[in-house]
Amino acid sequence: MISPKSKPSLPSIVEQAEAELQALGIETGRAEWVRSTYVTTDTSELAALAETRDLRATAQWARRLRSIDLTELSPVEVRKCDRIRVAQVLWAPNDLRDADELPRRISSMEGTYATWHYRPREQSERLDLEGLSRILSDSRNPELLGDVWEGWHQLGATIRPDFERYVTLANHGARDGGFEDLGALWRSRYDMDPREVDRVVEGLWREVEPLYRLLHAFVRLRLSEGYGKTVVREVGPIRAHLFGNMWGQSWRSLLPLLSPSSPTAPQDLTKTLVERGTSPAEMVRYGERFFVSLGLPALPSTFWERSMFVRPQDRDVVCHASAWAVDTRDDVRIKMCIEITEEEFRVIHHELGHTFYQLAYRDQPYLFRDGAHDGFHEAVGDTIALSITPEYLVQVGLLDQAPGPENDIRFLLAQALEKVAFLPFGLLVDRWRWKVFSGEIAPADYNPSWWDLRLKYQGMEPPTERGPEAFDAGGKYHVVANVPYLRYFFAHILQFQFHQALARRTGWDGPLHRCSIYGHPEAGESLLSMLSLGSSRPWPEALELVTGGRMMDAGPLREYFRPLESWLRDQVGSAPIGW
């Protein structure tokens, strides 16, 4: 830790801080990896201890560096000081007991989340989130869907006491660090005034909201025809258990109910992968080969030795897919319980986007080994996933022949059910938490306010009446794990900006949704120029390297879905739009 007797020169203060935080970051990364892949009381305790040391040291260095004269530092050192200040998504409170308790509360919530099971009606065994999600995706029995949805969301009431205490402790830390509350700390990570972030978010949402409302109206119309008007009304919100996803953030599993007729049999990538006996490791190899085709180096051997691709049979693990740079340089890994499905095929490309980003900036100083902002990190892999077109699948031997343009609407509808459907959820999770952290939403109003926002932005309501004693936000991993969520909203905007710009680098002049950048190193060169910067420069400069512009813009997303938008208007006709 920092020695009070040490009085090094100003530049060496920054260097000393960076060295100590790197060592602690590696220690914490290893402890968190073990906690996530071996969920026990002991591993949770060890991870909490490591996180406590890391949080304390970061907060101590940030406080010390705030007191020095920044005019005596170089611009690089000034930026490093700022990165230390906002490096963590938590600040350790000054009170040592609070500083010890905060990571333990989060670890307790994560442990409860990872081990929660529920036995649905007519089932012989209790199921985890993976098993419950499979029922939501596959079943068309509204009573069973409602039971599964409510069974998972019982988790929230169990987690709620930890969450309330976590809010108090996290706000103590943020205020000790000079922020208004934890939400203000999170918004300070975007190279702009925290108050400006909400304005930017609202502007982007207004650009995409008409497309979302049109998609919602179409889905409501089709679900009402399929389930009947007593289950899905022709006007108003849709009940949240009917979207095939626990949080209504992806509607892709509804595609068979919604899809237009096709002159050719629809592509079934899941069936192809299963019939070929594709292993989880082979699924990951497909993703690696995509990045290599862009001119990026292959993954290190340690990635294959240390990653977790399959759910172990002998222990509890956190199956939520994630990418790790454990030593912040070469020891990169992913953690997934891979199933052989089209959805997992895409998720793998997303996670490898993180991995190749981590490798691209590994030669930056430790404090700059991060994305330009967290939305960039999420967007890279999703940009690559947009290139998983039928033409790409033909190139890699997973499809014999790409369907013609007559199948484009079905393809775009599938994309919209995932990408467009996500946008309001990606927005509201943090808007709700910002109000919780600021005190605008009191604990008694946690659940009513959660559903107020879900109604406002998603046009959804719960399957049954949910009283204030429930805590449905606690059924989302990112809420209990203290993971900011706005990054995913930004990523769903940025990925289309990146895709449009990279498509142009290849000389593509056709419909944006049919372009794949696979095998185009000129696109990879442009992408790598941005990735290698890490967080060493403000994000508008990184964005400019790929897109030529310095603002996040939803225009490319609207361009991508323009053919579908016209089709949806024809399908909806005079039916009501909105709720």
Packing angle, helices 408-438 and 446-453, rounded to 10:
150
For the chain, 579 residues long, the average pLDDT of each consecutive 10-residue run is 51 87 94 91 90 88 84 89 88 91 92 93 90 94 96 95 98 94 96 93 97 98 95 96 97 89 71 95 96 96 96 88 91 95 92 95 95 94 93 92 86 95 98 98 97 98 92 96 96 98 95 96 96 96 96 97 97 95
Closest CA to 527 of 507, 547, 511: 547
Closest CA to 20 of 72, 87, 78, 68: 87
* Per-residue DSSP letter, 455: I
How far is 239 from 257, CA to CA, in rounded Å? 16
Catalytic entry in 45, 209, 402, 478? 478
* Per-residue DSSP letter, 332: E
Q: With residue 324 as reference, give the H or E element that holds it.
A: strand 322-325
Active site residue 478: yes
At 433, list the tokens: 């938490």
Label residue 153 left, alpha or beta by phi (over 0 means left) and psi (-120 to 50 means alpha): alpha
Active site residue 373: no
Domain range annotation of the chain: 10-118+155-178, 123-153, 196-572
Does residue 310 sit in helix, strand or coil? coil
Active site residue 544: no
pLDDT of residue 87: 80
Quickly list DSSP for 534-545: TTSS-HHHHHHH
Active site residue 216: no
pLDDT of residue 9: 57
Quickly list DSSP for 265-276: PPP-HHHHHHHT
Catalytic entry in 110, 344, 351, 418? 351
Strands annotated E in 328-419:
332-335
Query: Tokens 């650009």 label which residue?
Result: 207
Whole-number Cα distances in Å, 352 to 29, 119, 355, 385: 18, 34, 5, 10
Catalytic entry in 20, 157, 320, 477? 320
pTM of the model: 0.91
At 387, list the tokens: 């290139």
Catalytic entry in 321, 343, 402, 522? 321
Total number of residues shown for the chain? 579
pLDDT of residue 125: 93
pLDDT of residue 62: 87
Whole-number Cα distances in Å, 109 to 36, 51, 156, 490: 13, 15, 10, 26
Q: Can you count the helices (H) and strands (E) in the chain?
A: 24, 4
pLDDT of residue 8: 56
Catalytic entry in 51, 344, 378, 418? 378
pLDDT of residue 467: 86
What are the helix (H) ranges across 439-474? 446-453
Distance from the Cα of residue 393 to its chain's centroid: 25
At 442, list the tokens: 């009191």
Active site residue 172: no
Active site residue 350: yes
How far is 498 from 356, CA to CA, in rounded Å? 16
How far is 240 from 231, CA to CA, in rounded Å? 12
pLDDT of residue 335: 96
Active site residue 513: no
How far is 326 from 460, CA to CA, in rounded Å? 39
Catalytic entry in 166, 361, 488, 560? 488
Active site residue 321: yes
Catalytic entry in 172, 216, 349, 354? 354
Q: Confirm if 543 and 537 have CB atoms less than 8 A apart.
A: no
pLDDT of residue 1: 47
How far is 256 from 249, CA to CA, in rounded Å? 18
